[in-house]
């Protein structure tokens, strides 16, 4: 019988094998890349297993890129800037993948980059690949998925990876732990802004760009630039030995975007020469190894039925002051250990 839905055959298609996924990704096939990222994002164990095998086979083909982290408060112009930078570099034979980490998207189902009106030109650009933030129940989970997606994008030939995040919570630290270069976007208006931005974030920045330096705000942006340059001078020398600086740009008009790209290239050259670039990536892998162990142990512990069974009574004893928090933790860990020994 003729199907009334012409897509039915497509929907019923069997799942590609690991080698088909890998082959597709290595050939730069975006559909395969997207589907493999969907596997990374899936909570199903079978999908996770498949995803891990794909990642493993893509790893030898990954790493040949510059990974740029971009942060700034909502409205500062991140997506406008990424669009401008993306268009600028794709004209120069670069292929750019834009990923995101937005832990708040678990509520709004992908607010960041989820809005189709963002980055209109870049989304239509065949040298660009844009993927909204994965959803997840923890920042660690969301960050892991983005980090694994970077591997697949690089294997697919994207040599510039941009990871965007909103300036809330700990997501900047997560982005910093998976990128080579960290760009902080700020609004014109010195001083006040620094109050709103956590100090640690300024310290992480390899470059501060005061955006919206156009029209009436140009003068204010220049003042802000001078202010931030002073603030940056007061910070201790970075491990990379790179001296961060502040400059102005207008994502809307594109002014300053090429200077920023130049600085990113200078940074790469500088840190590759002094080896920081490579050492930093190794340290990031080490960090993610520890992080993965910790989160797996955390899950094993809290999902253990005998731990859950004893948890509330021990918690009650702690809250009523019958035993100390330390003793309570010790008792629960003992239950967990005994259970493990039984197996
Ligand atoms: P995001 O929330 O950080 O991604 O910010 P958007 O890129 O969505 O920008 C927020 C608003 O600021 C939009 O209305 C943009 O058009 C505007 N905007 C972004 N960059 C500039 C700029 O350089 N100059 C001016 N005047 N407006 C800008």
What DSSP string describes 75-118? TSSHHHHHHHHHHHHHTTT--EEEEEE-TTHHHHTS-TTTSTTT
Give residue for tokens 């994008």: 153
Q: What mean pLDDT is predicted for residues 15-19?
A: 91
Say if residue 137 is in the same domain as residue 186: yes
Say if residue 159 is in the same domain as residue 181: yes
Say if residue 164 is in the same domain as residue 235: yes
Domain count, the chain: 3
Q: Percentage of the chain with pLDDT > 70?
A: 88
User: Where does a domain end: 252, 274, 296?
Assistant: 274
Question: How sure is the predictor about 343, in pLDDT bands with cuts at 50, 70 and 90?
Answer: low
Task: Give the domain CATH number at 22.
Answer: 1.20.5.170
Tokens (6 digits) for 178: 């998976």
pLDDT at 150: 97
The answer to whether the CB of 246 falls within 8 A of the CB of 225 is yes
Task: Give the domain CATH number at 159.
Answer: 3.40.50.300
Say if residue 177 is in the same domain as residue 75: yes
Atom of ligand 1 nearest to the CA of 80: 7
Does the residue 293 lie in any domain? no
Structural domain boundaries enclosing 47: 15-60
Say if residue 55 is in the same domain as residue 99: no
Say if residue 119 is in the same domain as residue 211: yes
6: exposed, middle or buried (Cβ count in 10 Å: 0-12, 13-18, 19+): exposed
Does the residue 180 lie in any domain? yes
Does the residue 108 lie in any domain? yes
Say if residue 338 is in the same domain as residue 264: no
Say if residue 155 is in the same domain as residue 194: yes
Does the residue 225 lie in any domain? yes
Which helix H or strand E contains 71, and what residues bound it? strand 66-72
Question: How sure is the predictor about 5, in pLDDT bands with cuts at 50, 70 and 90?
Answer: low
Neighbours of 299 (CB within 10 A): 12
Is 310's C-beta closer than 6 angstroms to any atom of ligand 1? no
The answer to whether the CB of 256 falls within 8 A of the CB of 80 is no
The best mutation among 74, 80, 209 to test binding of ligand 1, ranked by most ligand atoms within 8 Å of the C-beta, falls on: 80
Largest CA distance in the chain: 75
CA dist 40 and 141 (Å) reads 11
Average pLDDT, the chain: 89
Neighbours of 94 (CB within 10 A): 17
Question: How much of the chain is helix, strand and coil, in % rounded to 5?
Answer: 55, 10, 35
Atom of ligand 1 nearest to the CA of 185: 3
Does the residue 286 lie in any domain? no
Q: Atom 5 of ligand 1 has which residue's CA nearest to it?
A: 77
CA dist 257 and 251 (Å) reads 7
Tokens (6 digits) for 337: 């250990």
Is 79's C-beta closer than 6 angstroms to any atom of ligand 1? yes
Q: What are residue 160's DSSP bridge partners?
A: 66, 96
Say if residue 227 is in the same domain as residue 108: yes
Rounded distance from Cα 131 to ligand 1 centre (Å): 20
CA dist 160 and 150 (Å) reads 10
Does the residue 166 lie in any domain? yes
- Count Cα atoms within 13 angstroms, Cβ side, for 32: 20
Say if residue 195 is in the same domain as residue 317: no
The best mutation among 70, 71, 76, 77 to test binding of ligand 1, ranked by most ligand atoms within 8 Å of the C-beta, falls on: 77
Rounded distance from Cα 75 to ligand 1 centre (Å): 6
CA dist 163 and 150 (Å) reads 9
Q: Which are the contacts of 318, defined by CB distance < 8 A and separation ≥ 6?
A: 324, 325, 328
Does the residue 205 lie in any domain? yes
Question: How sure is the predictor about 110, in pLDDT bands with cuts at 50, 70 and 90?
Answer: very low
Higher pLDDT, 287 or 192: 287
Does the residue 320 lie in any domain? yes
Say if residue 25 is in the same domain as residue 81: no
Higher pLDDT, 194 or 128: 128
DSSP 323: S
Q: What mean pLDDT is predicted for residues 219-242?
A: 92
pLDDT at 4: 54
pLDDT at 105: 59
Say if residue 250 is in the same domain as residue 212: yes
pLDDT at 9 over 60: no
């Amino acid at each position: 019988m003729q199907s009334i839905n012409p897509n039915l055959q497509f929907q019923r298609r069997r799942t590609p094998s690991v080698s088909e996924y890998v082959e597709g990704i290595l050939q730069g096939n975006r559909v395969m890349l997207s589907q493999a990222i969907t596997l990374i994002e899936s909570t199903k164990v079978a999908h996770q297993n498949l995803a891990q095998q794909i990642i493993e086979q893509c790893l030898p083909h990954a790493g040949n890129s510059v990974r740029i982290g971009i942060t700034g408060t909502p409205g500062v112009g991140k997506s406008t800037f990424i669009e401008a930078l993306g268009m600028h570099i794709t004209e120069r034979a670069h292929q750019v993948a834009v990923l995101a980490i937005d832990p708040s998207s678990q509520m709004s189902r992908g607010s960041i980059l989820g809005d189709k009106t963002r980055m209109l030109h870049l989304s239509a650009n065949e040298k660009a690949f844009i993927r909204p933030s994965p959803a997840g129940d923890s920042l660690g989970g969301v960050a892991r998925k983005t980090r694994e997606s970077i591997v697949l994008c690089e294997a697919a030939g994207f040599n510039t990876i941009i990871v965007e995040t909103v300036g809330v919570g700990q997501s900047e630290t997560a982005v910093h732990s998976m990128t080579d270069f960290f760009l902080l976007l700020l609004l014109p208006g010195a001083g006040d802004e620094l109050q709103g931005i956590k100090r640690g974030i300024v310290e992480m920045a390899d470059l501060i760009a005061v955006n919206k330096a156009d029209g009436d705000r140009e003068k204010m942006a220049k003042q802000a630039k001078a202010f931030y340059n002073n603030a940056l001078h007061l910070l201790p020398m970075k491990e990379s030995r790179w001296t961060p600086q502040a400059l102005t740009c207008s994502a809307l008009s594109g002014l300053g975007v090429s200077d920023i790209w130049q600085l990113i290239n200078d940074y790469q050259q500088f840190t590759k020469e002094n080896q920081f670039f490579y050492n930093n990536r190794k340290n990031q892998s080490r960090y993610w190894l520890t992080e993965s162990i910790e989160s797996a142990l955390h899950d094993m512990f809290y999902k253990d039925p005998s731990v859950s069974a004893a948890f509330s009574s021990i918690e009650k004893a702690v809250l009523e002051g019958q035993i100390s928090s330390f003793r309570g933790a010790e008792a629960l860990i003992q239950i967990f250990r005994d259970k493990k020994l039984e197996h």
